[in-house]
Structure 1
Amino acid sequence: MTTCLVIPGLGGSGPTHWQSHWARALPQVRRVVQDDWDAPQRKAWVATLAAAVDSCRDDVVLIAHSLGCALVAHWARQHGGRVRGALLVAPADVDSPAHTPAEVRGFAPMPLRPLPFASIVVASRNDPYVPMARARQFADCWGSRFEDIGDAGHINADAGLGNWPDGLALLDTLCAAALTD
């Protein structure tokens, strides 16, 4: 059995976000809950993610959105363990004051080293928090497969994705590849 950990970004992915849909609908999905969704602190968030992964008895797949992608990149520098893969959706460019709010600057600089597990970066052409070229750079540096899903904004609730079946298909693909290695 595999445990999937949903890792929201700034604000915590509200009830209509695809991450929340997945956490409610899929028994293998659990949400990583941070103490303060609106004032993220990198050290505290990394510790919370580490504790969540450590609490899992089975292999783990991470499902991160926005600032959650930067969190995974920071966490992976010192950890790894049973994590077999990560779906990294709409990574926020924490290095860019032009694209992201000041609250995320504590996650800069974005780690640009290969991740120690399989991963897919999913990006939108009109995401206000990361230009497509920068999202592709993250994927290249992390050793991730890159998925351009066209114009889907920040790939969040405002994009009207509901439970985002195309994202579930990507998660299934990631799990199939990561768990057979």
Structure 2
Amino acid sequence: MSTHLILPGYQNSEAEHWQSYWERSDPARFRRVEQADWDKPQLPDWVATLDRAVADADAPVVLVAHSLGCITVAHWAATARPELAAKVLGALLVAPADIDTADVPELVNFRPVPLTALPFRATVVASDDDPWCTADRARAFAEAWGATFAAVGPGGHLNTASALGDWPQGRALLAELTA
């Protein structure tokens, strides 16, 4: 059985976010990676926290990231020790934030978004109307990362405001990734 590490983005995922639904549905399998500061994220800290979570996992890992969590995965993968990257079975990267163009001072230290291939399977999921990343830019991330691209139509930032609930479509994409 694999451990699914939940990687929220900037300011964490609220109780009505699909990541929180998944975590509540199976807390033994889905574990949130708790960052020290959700409101003033620091790239080195977020990457180190992810590194520790992967190292501490007692089973193979699936990364389930949203927004800035996706960018954290890309930064971590670019510098991860090979033995830790090998523990990752795959990554579901939902609504990656284009922090290269985001006008949010707290996110500048995550620039530039790494555009190197990930050393594990991945699926980038994007909506047609995400205010944080155009579908074309999300597709470019997928291509650079060597990931499959999944367009899910209109859905905003695929977050709490999108009212996805348990998000069955996302669960299907996760099942496909880990099959």
Length-normalised TM-score, structure 2: 0.95
* Equivalent residue runs for 1:96-115 within 5 Å: 96-97=101-102, 100-115=103-118
Aligned equivalents of 1:125, 1:102: Cα separation in 2? 25
Mapped pair 1:159 → 2:162? yes
Aligned equivalents of 1:132, 1:169: Cα separation in 2? 20
Which of 142, 148, 153 pairs up with 1:150?
153
Matched AA of 2:151: D
Shift of residue 81 of structure 1? 3.1
Matched AA of 2:88: V
Aligned equivalents of 1:137, 1:148: Cα separation in 2? 13
Aligned equivalents of 1:159, 1:102: Cα separation in 2? 24
Aligned equivalents of 1:172, 1:104: Cα separation in 2? 31
Aligned equivalents of 2:166, 2:125: Cα separation in 1? 16
Matched AA of 1:102: P
SS in 2 for 1:169: helix
Aligned equivalents of 1:170, 1:134: Cα separation in 2? 20
1:179 alignment partner in structure 2? none
1:37 alignment partner in structure 2? 38
Which of 119, 132, 136 pairs up with 1:116?
119
1:81 alignment partner in structure 2? 86
2:135 alignment partner in structure 1? 132
Matched AA of 2:77: A
Length-normalised TM-score, structure 1: 0.94
Aligned equivalents of 1:149, 1:162: Cα separation in 2? 15
SS in 2 for 1:12: coil
Aligned equivalents of 1:165, 1:86: Cα separation in 2? 17
Number of residue-to-residue matches in the alignment: 174
Q: Give the 4+ runs in structure 1 shifted more than 6 A.
A: none
Aligned equivalents of 1:44, 1:11: Cα separation in 2? 15
Aligned equivalents of 2:105, 2:6: Cα separation in 1? 24
Mapped pair 1:64 → 2:65? yes
- Long gaps (5+) in structure 2: none
Q: Is the 8 A contact 2:10 2:38 kept in 1?
A: yes
Shift of residue 54 of structure 1? 0.5
Shift of residue 78 of structure 1? 1.6
CA deviations over 1:45-90 (Å, ceiling 9, x no partner): 0000000111111110000000000000000012113011000000
SS in 2 for 1:77: helix
Q: Is the 8 A contact 2:86 2:120 kept in 1?
A: no
Aligned equivalents of 1:163, 1:102: Cα separation in 2? 31
Aligned equivalents of 1:109, 1:117: Cα separation in 2? 21
1:19 alignment partner in structure 2? 19
Q: Is the 8 A contact 2:8 2:69 kept in 1?
A: yes
- Long gaps (5+) in structure 1: 177-181
Aligned equivalents of 1:18, 1:169: Cα separation in 2? 13
2:48 alignment partner in structure 1? 47
Pairwise CA RMSD of aligned residues?
0.8
